[in-house]
Structure 1
Amino acid sequence: MNNKIEITKTTSESQDFIDLIAALDTSLWECYPELKTNYWRNNVIELNPNVVIIYLDDKAVACGCFKKYDKDTIELKRMFVSPEARGMGLAQKILHELELWAHELGFSLSVLETLYKQKEAIGLYQKVGYAIVDNYEPYVGLENSICMKKQI
């Protein structure tokens, strides 16, 4: 069966993005109930003009975004693929789109933070060239965080 895949650039005001992030948050808190208070302050959706959503047969199933970290660097945020769409390479498509977009805007580095139990995510990031680095702010001292970096 061929699924129709559509990749859309949008903002964090997109209701589809908001709905996907709610699903991401639910899955994270189920996996890491002990971290909710420590990480909540880093988990605010601020207005973000750099959001990518993937639609599968007209249903929003995956998302990601980036924000400026410093003059040369973006930070990837809110990467999520809904369970029914996993295993189709959609996370890799989102990463590619976000990195291309950031590069077009003049950024040369990408950083991200994920949590230690996210083995599939860590594997994906390493597969596409991210390396584990020392935790950057605001994750310094947070032992559950894994920070990664890549030249884009």
Structure 2
Amino acid sequence: MLPIITRERPDTFDAISLITELEAFLESLYPPESRHGYSVDKLLAEEVAFFLLRVNETPACCGGIEFVGNEYGEIKRMYVRPQFRGLGFAKLMVNHLADYACAHNITLLRLETGVHQREAIGLYERLGFYRIPLFGPYINDPLSLCYEKRLVSPEELGWSPGFFEQTAGALQDDPLIRYSQGEYEEREPLE
């Protein structure tokens, strides 16, 4: 089972299928005024970089990132199909979005999630996101929680510009090592 992440337009059949499933899930938890997810048309209009994770060519997970000027990147439309949960795919996608942000000199990630999405909240907190005051369109929504995470830029670490492009975001302490095409290969953890 080799997960592959690729950038894709959100108006493809697979992307629309995942977004539709996400909307149905959120509809069961929140009233319309508390569902802030972008439509496919808005994802396109706002030029959200959108990615799909596939396993054996089956779409399993999606996520996007919208750059808000040079200030931060906001994670959008994160979703993992139920049959693929618990396999680390959400972590792979968030890490991929973080790498994408760093490659574009964005070192702050933000996101909004709902108060009823305990699994998502747990994931974001485990990945180092911390709660912040509600921002932007979420300010008056009592069912929203907002998080952010500061990313370390290659320059802050003393590495040359283009570091992430050259290494494709490989993480030596992660048992899944990325390759430049967005493919992943399971490896033994480094000691």
Verify same fold: TM over 0.5: yes
Residue 104 of structure 1 is matched in structure 2 by 103
Aligned residues: 147
Residue 94 of structure 2 is matched in structure 1 by 95
Residue 136 of structure 2 is matched in structure 1 by 137
- Structure 1: segments with no counterpart, 5+ residues: none
| TM-score normalised by structure 1 residue count | 0.90
Counterpart contact for 2:2–2:55, Cα < 8 Å: yes
Percent pairwise identity: 28
Structure 2: distance between partners of 1:39 and 1:94: 24
- Structure 2: segments with no counterpart, 5+ residues: 152-191
Q: What are the Cα deviations for residues 12-67 of structure 1, in whole angstroms up to 9, with x where unaligned?
A: 233211110000000111122xx11x135653332035111111111001000011
Flag the 1:116–1:40 CA change in 2: closer, same or farther, 3 A.
closer
Flag the 1:145–1:43 CA change in 2: closer, same or farther, 3 A.
same
Give yes or no for the alignment of 1:20 onto 2:18. yes
| SS across alignment from 1:31 | coil
Range moving further from structure 2, 108-117 or 68-77: 68-77
Structure 2: distance between partners of 1:71 and 1:4: 34
Give yes or no for the alignment of 1:44 onto 2:39. yes
Structure 1: distance between partners of 2:37 and 2:50: 18
Q: What are the Cα deviations for residues 61-114 of structure 1, in whole angstroms up to 9, with x where unaligned?
A: 100001112322011000000000000000000000011001101111110000
Higher helix share: 1
Q: Which structure has the greater CA radius of gyration?
A: 2
| SS across alignment from 2:136 | coil
Q: Structure 1: which 4+ aligned runs deviate by more than 2 Å? A: 39-45
Higher strand share: 1
Residue 120 of structure 2 is matched in structure 1 by 121
